[in-house]
Structure 1
Amino acid sequence: MGKRKTKPIVAVVGRPNVGKSTLFNVLAGEMISIVKDTPGITRDRIYADVSWLDMSFTLIDTGGIEPDSKDVILSQMREQAEIAIETADVILFMVDVKQGLVDADAKVADMLRKSKKPIVLVVNKVDHVEKYMADVYEFYNMGIGDPHPISAANRTGIGDMLDVVTSYFNKTVSAEEEDERIKVAIVGKPNVGKSSIINRLVGENRVIVSDIAGTTRDAIDTDIRYNGKDYVFIDTAGLRKKNKIKEELERYMIVRTVSAVERADIAVLVIDAVEGVTEQDAKIAGIAHERGKAVIIAVNKWDAIEKDNKTVNKFTNKVREVLSFMSYAEIIFISAVTGQRLPKLYETIDIVNENHSMRVSTGVLNEIMAEAVALQQPPSDKGKRLRLYYITQVSVKPPTFVIFVNDKELMHFSYTRYIENKIREAFGFRGTPLKFIIRERKENQ
């Protein structure tokens, strides 16, 4: 099994109007991959995948601030800093050369410094380096290292800044590479029973869960050995403040989910059986789907449902309908309260983990493709017909295939999906998304 590097997470912290969103848009620019059919991705650009040279990372915006008074700005910046310290591998702290060093900046810098996380201090709006250099140097007073001048609007200094940001990566990644344990993120809306499931799996309540919405505590990794195998459960439960407004809670939940899912191979999406599957569930599912993780949908509190012989089918159909973009996901019905079918969760995790890292030989793939093409003719356009030459699997987690064709434009989404279905018919691949890369090869090559 190939080692998989976890994508590092870079969180942006800064006061209002220092230019965070401008930088965000420049970095995400063309590189943001908006997957059609995935809910919640385009509306709230809380995170984006960025590639720089041969490295890629996830950029997270820790929060917008509604500036109305200095106190609010400071308290909300502290909040941002907390989220960043908790979830990020590298923190990008942004200040504005034209506003100069502000009291709130200095206070937040103290917090960040204590975290011992790598911090990159970015001074934005430096349109003329000569003109502003003295002002840039003023930021040395914060005591968090060298200030890096950029102009997000003019796109200057950004390469140098990214070099600094990415220079911190390998130091944080290497430890995880050797880790052969199966990593499972337990994700879902607040109060669907994520912690109860982990407690039940551990068999001892070492995570204290109260029934109050927004229980305070940090994400905790729980190591469990079951049937001779090692698992790490990455929990996203627990939110800091009870009096947070709904949008902030949601942003916080998404940031938590992105960082947990990024570190995991498998996401277990917990849905509340009593409440049914919701738009918010779809948003969280979209994060795992976008990142190519294996997915298990665990319908919790199933003991609380009045059942007849059609209940499971009805619920399953509803889930499939709302989460139509991940028809590959496995669904299981459990109860953390009674422990019903929890052993089945391990079994399902093992199965989808194998599928997520399964390799199929090139010979067999090409047989399946040839058969598929014979059964259903490839599309044509203006007399030119699509030809599929060759297919091969290039990586796992998720299984990723390259198909060589004569004309990329002719390879419609629906035909790729048809090939995918034929591969799934042969190998199952239950629980894992499959990725297809279409490459063009000229006829005579």
Structure 2
Amino acid sequence: MKPIVAVVGRPNVGKSTLVNRLARTQDAIVHESRGVTRDRSYHDADWNGRDFILVDTGGIEPLKSDDVFSASIRDQALAAAEEADVVLFVVDGSVGVTEEDESVARMLKRVKKPLFLLVNKLDNPDREQERLWEFYSLGLGDPRPISAHHGHGTGDLLDEVVAALPDEQEDEEPYPEALGVAIIGRPNAGKSSLFNKILGSDRSIVSNVAGTTRDAIDTYVERGGARYRLVDTAGIRKKSTVYENVEYYSMVRGLRAIDRADVALLVVDSSIGMTEQDQKVANLAIERGCALVILLNKWDLLADDEARAKVMETVDRRMTLAPWARYLRISALTGRSVEKIWDLVDKAAATRAQKLTTSALNKFLTELREFGHTVVDGKRRLRMHYVTQTGVNPPTFTFFVNHPDLVDPTYRRYIENRMREKFDFAGTPIRLKFQRKNDGQKAGE
């Protein structure tokens, strides 16, 4: 499980600028995930060989009203500190200590985690000490001067952040062949009810194994000779804390579960329909290569066909980038169709693990060439020479081409759609890579 570094603070202090700076500093290797909205909230990062997840809580704060500061921002800060392994608290050195900073600082003192107080916007290193002294009043130790805009102080900061991360631990896996299944979704969508309904099945043999992941218990279910590891993040079955409704909290818990799963079960509250937050959680699973099954829970509460049609419209609208996801209408409370979940899990896992022959793939490529659709830029025309499968879980394909830079997102989607028409990838994301084939081609081929 990758450790989490959370960047917290009131609005407009430079949290996102700092995240972007840390993402690009020196040897920090960051893979920015494609967001479903304009903001990108989390980044897979690597500094000096240590992997961690960098989370910008500013990217997931609710829209602000005229009141610049609200309880929700304090909740985000505390939730972030509780879930993170290291906290970066950013304040604005050009403004000085504000009442909002003091409020966040009081809450952060409750959480015993490594914390760095970063005084941002100190763009003149020669005069930074003049502005630092007042930030000692926050009671969070020595303030550290940085300039997220210019990069001053960020390299040394990353060294210390990595040093403060917990030691890497391998999760104990008593049944390594078990298929990892994560139940994810918004609070109150029915995750706990579904979990309990699954465990209550008479035909299930259940055992709990405490993992090394903080506050997590894996539950192993055996059915028909197959083992499943239900990934249960903290709080999914015990009484949730007051911060369960904080979007950051839900997102990070979902992230932790998804990172350890093969198949994600996204529980959607049908009485509300699929929301933007559901879409974000689904996107987390897709980006991390999980197979995805959408469970439309509380379906029995919908009064008529019109209400049911409205729910399906929200699914179609929110899942335009993943129309391949399987879905099932269920009721975790009554048990309606819960038994059918296992069949969808097995099918999605099978397509995620499938291996196509190179001959079948290149037959597909021949048909694609005959169709004639390609990308042209001036004298350059994209030519795809051959394709091979280079990975599974999820299926990954490498196309050898003459000009990889000509492959734009639109053409990439076109290729994926054609592949899905030809092969069965229902329930799983696929990865497409385009690599240059160097074989003496002339420029412009």
- Who is 1:288 aligned against? 285
Secondary structure of 2:284's partner?
helix
Aligned match of 1:203 in 191, 200, 204? Answer: 200
- The aligned amino acid for 1:225 is V
Residue pair 2:78, 2:108 contacting (<8 A) in 1 also: no
Aligned match of 1:166 in 162, 179, 184? Answer: 162
- Deviation, 1:258, is 4.1
Gap change, CA 1:414 and 1:230, over 3 Å in 2: same
Gap change, CA 1:317 and 1:59, over 3 Å in 2: closer
Residue pair 2:83, 2:249 contacting (<8 A) in 1 also: no
- Who is 2:14 aligned against? 19
Q: Is 2:437 the counterpart of 1:438?
A: no
- Deviation, 1:194, is 1.8
Secondary structure of 2:167's partner?
helix
Identity %: 35
Gap change, CA 1:8 and 1:328, over 3 Å in 2: farther
Gap change, CA 1:137 and 1:271, over 3 Å in 2: same
Gap change, CA 1:295 and 1:154, over 3 Å in 2: same
- Deviation, 1:379, is 1.5
Residue pair 2:75, 2:246 contacting (<8 A) in 1 also: no
Instruction: Map 1:184-195 onto structure 2 (within 5 A).
Output: 184-195=181-192
- The aligned amino acid for 1:184 is V
Residue pair 2:61, 2:73 contacting (<8 A) in 1 also: no
Q: Which moved more, 1:221-230 or 1:153-162?
A: 221-230
- Deviation, 1:197, is 0.6
Gap change, CA 1:424 and 1:380, over 3 Å in 2: closer
Gap change, CA 1:129 and 1:409, over 3 Å in 2: closer
TM-score, normalised by the number of residues in structure 2: 0.73
Q: Is 2:111 the counterpart of 1:112?
A: yes
- Deviation, 1:323, is 1.4
Residue pair 2:32, 2:40 contacting (<8 A) in 1 also: no
- Deviation, 1:311, is 10
List gaps (5 residues or longer) in structure 2.
Answer: 202-213
- Cα distance in 1 between the residues matched to 2:7 and 2:422: 45
String of CA shifts for 1:154-183, please: whole Å, max 9, x gaps.
Answer: 211212222333345572453378984543
Gap change, CA 1:46 and 1:380, over 3 Å in 2: closer
- Cα distance in 1 between the residues matched to 2:48 and 2:332: 45
- Who is 1:347 aligned against? 343
- Who is 1:207 aligned against? none
- Deviation, 1:86, is 3.4
- Who is 1:323 aligned against? 319
Q: Is 2:84 the counterpart of 1:88?
A: yes
- The aligned amino acid for 2:229 is Y
String of CA shifts for 1:253-275, please: whole Å, max 9, x gaps.
Answer: 44544454345443222223344
Gap change, CA 1:178 and 1:231, over 3 Å in 2: closer
- Cα distance in 2 between the residues matched to 1:52 and 1:433: 28
Aligned match of 2:388 in 360, 370, 392? Answer: 392
- Who is 1:231 aligned against? 229
- Deviation, 1:434, is 0.8
- Cα distance in 1 between the residues matched to 2:371 and 2:172: 44
List gaps (5 residues or longer) in structure 1.
Answer: 1-5, 205-217
- Cα distance in 2 between the residues matched to 1:301 and 1:285: 19
Aligned match of 1:59 in 31, 55, 58? Answer: 55
Residue pair 2:121, 2:147 contacting (<8 A) in 1 also: yes
- Cα distance in 1 between the residues matched to 2:199 and 2:168: 28
- Deviation, 1:301, is 2.1
Residue pair 1:378, 1:386 contacting (<8 A) in 2 also: no
- The aligned amino acid for 1:371 is T
- Deviation, 1:335, is 1.5
Q: Is 2:367 the counterpart of 1:372?
A: yes
String of CA shifts for 1:187-213, please: whole Å, max 9, x gaps.
Answer: 333432222111111229xxxxxxxxx
Aligned match of 2:404 in 403, 408, 415? Answer: 408
Secondary structure of 2:221's partner?
strand
Q: Is 2:120 the counterpart of 1:124?
A: yes
- The aligned amino acid for 1:112 is V
- Deviation, 1:314, is 9.2
String of CA shifts for 1:7-26, please: whole Å, max 9, x gaps.
Answer: 44221233555432331343
- Cα distance in 1 between the residues matched to 2:434 and 2:118: 38
TM-score, normalised by the number of residues in structure 1: 0.73
String of CA shifts for 1:315-334, please: whole Å, max 9, x gaps.
Answer: 76763344121112111122
- The aligned amino acid for 1:298 is L
- Who is 1:297 aligned against? 294
- Who is 1:429 aligned against? 425
- The aligned amino acid for 1:373 is L
String of CA shifts for 1:296-349, please: whole Å, max 9, x gaps.
Answer: 1111123344688x9999976763344121112111122212212222212322
- Cα distance in 1 between the residues matched to 2:173 and 2:366: 39
- Deviation, 1:404, is 1.8
Residue pair 1:379, 1:410 contacting (<8 A) in 2 also: no
